């Protein structure tokens, strides 16, 4: 793509509206936010990456500014991404996905391998990974849904941020204050605009068969980034991806949990840029 100034727009695709920002020059790099966040979570990275690449960030359907129908039909976040890339005339991209969008990014790479040149998975999930109802997860779900039933959005968000952003081994006072406040604000905005975080995810059409038994099919360079204070499940998934994808590299950012990019943005940018420069 030719060099371009910062541009924001709305792509009308697949019966929805996807809001996006694009800037920079060079090879395409697409940023997909986590399911507690929106595209503004890349504020510390978007400009830095745009010095070297044509960077696209967007709000997934039902997050941030992007539309969500009141009666959401099943939809494929992978098809939404493919349609957005087509809309912007991007044939191939480096793809960076965080958390739930890490799951989407890996599944997209398996479904549309011709569209991805490299894959960066940050604190990713893994389709087909068995969900375990540990005591900590049960406690979080109970606190979250209990608060929603009381229409106490602030407490629902605090339970979410404590579980994911703080992690199980530290208190809020040990977390990057600015990052925690931004994540809290984004999560409040999501629930106010779109409702229950977890209910919306249930409308997503899964990849069949799932990625967990297909890791050997991934043929592009892969970087896995994880915080050492993330959940045991997230750390296990990172190890599974490193073992299962040929040539995959894993980097651990110490002192962070599920949102390492927001807690330590400079270190995160360095790790990503070193990987991309080495391609």
In the predicted model, is pLDDT for residue 198 greater than 90?
no
**Mean of pLDDT over the chain:** 94
Instruction: Specify the pLDDT at position 191.
Output: 92
Q: How many CB atoms lie within 10 A of CB 180?
A: 20
In the predicted model, is pLDDT for residue 185 greater than 70?
yes
**Residue 8 token pair:** 């924001």
Instruction: Specify the pLDDT at position 200.
Output: 77
Helices (H) then strands (E): counts for the chain: 10, 8
202 or 29, greater pLDDT: 29
CA neighbor of 233 nearest in space, from 99, 95, 32, 35 = 99
186 prior amide bond cis, ω within 30:
no
Instruction: Specify the pLDDT at position 132.
Output: 82
In the predicted model, is pLDDT for residue 4 greater than 80?
no
In the predicted model, is pLDDT for residue 194 greater than 50?
yes
% of the chain surpassing 70 pLDDT:
97
Over residues 160-165, the mean pLDDT reads 97
**Residue 93 token pair:** 């991209």
Burial string for 186-200 (b: 16+ CB within 10 Å, else e) reads: bbbbbbeebeebeeb
DSSP letter (8 states) at residue 273: H
Instruction: Specify the pLDDT at position 2.
Output: 44
Tens of pLDDT, residue by residue over 50-80, are 999 999 999 999 999 998 665 568 899 999 9
Instruction: Specify the pLDDT at position 201.
Output: 84
Instruction: Specify the pLDDT at position 130.
Output: 93
Instruction: Specify the pLDDT at position 72.
Output: 64
CA neighbor of 158 nearest in space, from 193, 191, 194 = 191
Tens of pLDDT, residue by residue over 12-27, are 999 899 999 999 999 9
Instruction: Specify the pLDDT at position 197.
Output: 80
List CB contacts of 81: < 8 A, sequence separation 6 or more.
Answer: 30, 32, 104, 108
In the predicted model, is pLDDT for residue 108 greater than 80?
yes
Q: Residue 1's pLDDT band (boundaries 50, 70, 90)?
A: very low
Instruction: Specify the pLDDT at position 157.
Output: 96
Q: Whole-angstrom distance between the N-terminal and C-terminal Cα of the chain? A: 19
The model carries a pTM of 0.96
Q: Could you state, in order of their start, the residue ranges of all structural domains in the chain?
A: 4-131+199-277, 135-198
Q: Residue 177's pLDDT band (boundaries 50, 70, 90)?
A: very high
Tens of pLDDT, residue by residue over 33-56, are 999 999 999 999 999 999 999 999
CA neighbor of 175 nearest in space, from 186, 164, 188 = 164
Tens of pLDDT, residue by residue over 116-140, are 999 999 999 999 999 888 999 999 9
Over residues 187-211, the mean pLDDT reads 90
Q: For the structural domain made of 4-131+199-277, what CATH number should be given?
A: 3.40.50.1820
């Amino acid at each position: 793509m030719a060099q371009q100034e910062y541009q924001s727009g709305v792509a009308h695709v697949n019966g929805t509206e996807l809001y996006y920002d694009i800037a920079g020059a060079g090879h395409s790099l697409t940023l997909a936010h986590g399911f507690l966040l929106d595209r503004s979570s890349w504020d510390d990275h978007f400009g830095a990456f745009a010095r070297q690449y044509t960077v696209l960030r967007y709000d997934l359907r039902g997050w941030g500014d992007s539309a969500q129908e009141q009666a959401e039909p099943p939809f494929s976040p992978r098809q939404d991404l493919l349609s957005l890339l087509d809309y912007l005339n991007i044939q191939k991209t480096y793809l960076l996905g965080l958390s739930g969008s890490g799951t989407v990014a890996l599944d997209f790479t398996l479904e549309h391998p011709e569209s991805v040149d490299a894959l960066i998975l940050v604190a990713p999930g893994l389709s087909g990974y068995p969900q375990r109802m540990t005591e900590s997860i049960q406690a979080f779900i109970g606190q979250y849904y209990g608060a929603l039933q009381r229409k106490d959005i602030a407490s629902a968000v605090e339970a979410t941020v404590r579980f994911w952003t703080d992690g199980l081994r530290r208190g809020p006072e040990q977390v990057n204050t600015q990052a925690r406040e931004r994540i809290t604000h984004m999560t409040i905005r999501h629930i106010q605009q779109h409702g229950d975080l977890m209910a919306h995810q249930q409308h997503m059409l899964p990849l069949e068969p799932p990625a967990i038994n297909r890791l050997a099919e991934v043929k592009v360079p892969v970087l896995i980034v994880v915080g050492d204070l993330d959940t045991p499940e997230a750390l296990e998934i990172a190890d599974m991806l490193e073992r299962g994808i040929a040539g995959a590299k894993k980097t651990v950012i110490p002192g962070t949990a599920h949102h390492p990019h927001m807690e330590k943005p400079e270190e995160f940018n360095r790790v990503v840029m070193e990987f991309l420069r080495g391609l």
